[in-house]
Copies of this chain bind each other. A is one copy, B any other.
Amino acid sequence: MAKIQVDLARATRLLQPAPLALVTAKFRDKANVMVAAWTMNCSHNPPMAALAVYPARFTHDLIVKSGQFALNIPPRPLLETVKKIAETSGEDVDKFVANKLTLYEGKQVNAPLIVECIGHLECGVVDTLRLGSHTLFFAEIVAAAADELAFDGERWTLADKSVKPLHHLGGDGYGVLEAIEAKH
Contacts and interface: CB of A to CB of B under 8 A. Distances in A.
Given A132-B46, A133-B44, A174 B168 contact: no
Nearest to A126: B131
Interface in A115-148: 126-127, 129, 131-134, 136, 138, 140
Most buried by B among A40, A80, A133, A183: A40
Contact of A155 (B42, B44, B134, B173): B173
Interface stretch (A11-19, A24-32, A63-71): A11-19
A9 B182 CA distance: 37
A41 interface: yes
A93 interface: no
A163 B50 CA distance: 28
Contact of A167 (B18, B39, B50, B138): B18
A174 B136 CA distance: 27
Given A52-B40, A132-B43, A179 B171 contact: no
A177 B180 contact: no
Contacts of A127: 129, 131
Interface of A: 10, 13, 16-18, 37-46, 48, 50, 52, 76, 79-80, 126-127, 129, 131-134, 136, 138, 140, 154-156, 158, 166-180, 182-183
8 shortest interchain CB distances as A-B pairs: A43-B132, A18-B18, A175-B177, A40-B40, A155-B170, A17-B167, A155-B169, A13-B170
